[in-house]
Structure 1
Amino acid sequence: MKITALEEYGLRCLMQLAQAQAEGNAGLSISEISKKEGLSIQYVSKITTHLRRQGIIGSVRGVHGGYRLAKKPQELKLSEIARALGDPMFDEEFCVDHAGKENACVHEKNCSVRSVWNVIHRHVNMIMNQITLQDLLQNEAETKEQLLKVVSG
């Protein structure tokens, strides 16, 4: 599983917005997010436009305006963020997309590989459904401890 730049930086921008809301700020401007994350204003603009179109964030007009989360950080699951920022790791079209020269995979009727990807996908989604943006605002040690609890069941 490869994390794209959009997924990584998008999540980091969302964490900045969540932290700002936790501190009582109405929103953050693109330039504020850019400065806090060390990203170009153009790239943050691209990320915020994408996240706004996906309904993850909204914009607030005015002197103290900017971007803010569309939901509370504790209601925004990592799985929802991942879907908004990128393609699913494994979807219904996986076998069609990787069929090779044929229209259908030669292993379509009996594919043990498909089972592996399905199980991995199901477990990753299960974990990501249990982690919220609020959880990621903890320090690294607390986040790691919580993740270990989620994984161990």
Structure 2
Amino acid sequence: MSLTIKSCYAIRGLYEMYKLQSRNKEEKNSKISISKIAESSGISQEFLAKIFAELKKTKIVASEKGKFGGFYFTKAPEEINLSEIVEVLEVPLSSYDCISEGECENQNNCPVEFVWRRVQDAIFNELSNITLKDVIEYGKKKEALAAKSQ
């Protein structure tokens, strides 16, 4: 399983979206524009827009067009496992030939296939145990520490 920058940017973008949304507490499920998320996260707006379009497939986020449009969460952060995010962005999940369907020329004789399957399963299981809420809480702690040191 190979994770690309897309997964990192998706998680970071969702974290920033949550922060921006939290500032607008008076509006439940306030919509945040992709330009604001991009500016806050330091990620290219075009790339982030493509990532968020893919994230809509997971039903983690949805969007509305128009002057007051933008992205909003359809699930609470504690209901969003990182595996949901990675699964939609990192296709195929199997980056090693020996565990990709029909890719390995030694598929029947490969003595290390079980290693890559176990590694992939371990990564995916760990991602299933981490929620966006965990990321948010960790981010808050890091920001608080950074503020103290200034």
Q: Aligned AA for 2:133?
A: Q
* 2:2–2:94 CA contact under 8 A, matched in 1: no
Change (3 A) 1:17 1:4: same
**Deviation readout 1:108-130 (Å, 9 max, x if unpaired):** 1x432111011112211221111
* 1:12–1:37 CA contact under 8 A, matched in 2: yes
User: Counterparts in 2 of 1:19-98, with a 5 A limit?
Assistant: 19-23=19-23, 24=25, 26-60=30-64, 64-90=68-94, 94=100, 96-97=102-103
Change (3 A) 1:28 1:87: same
Under a length normalisation based on structure 1, what TM-score does the superposition of the two structures give?
0.73
Question: What is the rounded CA distance, in whole Å, between the counterparts of 2:57 and 2:122 in structure 1?
Answer: 28
Match of 1:131 in 2: 130
Q: Secondary structure at the match of 1:67?
A: strand
Following superposition, the deviation at residue 131 of structure 1 comes to 0.5
Q: Secondary structure at the match of 1:18?
A: helix
Instruction: Give structure 2 stretches of 5+ with no counterpart.
Output: 143-150
Percent sequence identity over aligned pairs = 28
Counterpart check, 1:6 vs 2:6: yes
Segments ≥4 residues shifted beyond 3 Å: 20-23, 60-65, 140-143
Match of 1:17 in 2: 17
* 1:18–1:134 CA contact under 8 A, matched in 2: no
Q: Secondary structure at the match of 1:138?
A: helix
Question: What is the rounded CA distance, in whole Å, between the counterparts of 1:30 and 1:142 in structure 2?
Answer: 25
Match of 2:106 in 1: 106
Under a length normalisation based on structure 2, what TM-score does the superposition of the two structures give?
0.74
Q: Aligned AA for 1:132?
A: T
Q: Give me the CA root mean square deviation.
A: 2.8
* 2:21–2:32 CA contact under 8 A, matched in 1: no
Match of 2:145 in 1: none
Following superposition, the deviation at residue 20 of structure 1 comes to 3.4
Q: Secondary structure at the match of 1:128?
A: helix
* 1:78–1:128 CA contact under 8 A, matched in 2: yes
Number of aligned residue pairs: give it.
136
Change (3 A) 1:94 1:78: same
* 2:99–2:113 CA contact under 8 A, matched in 1: no
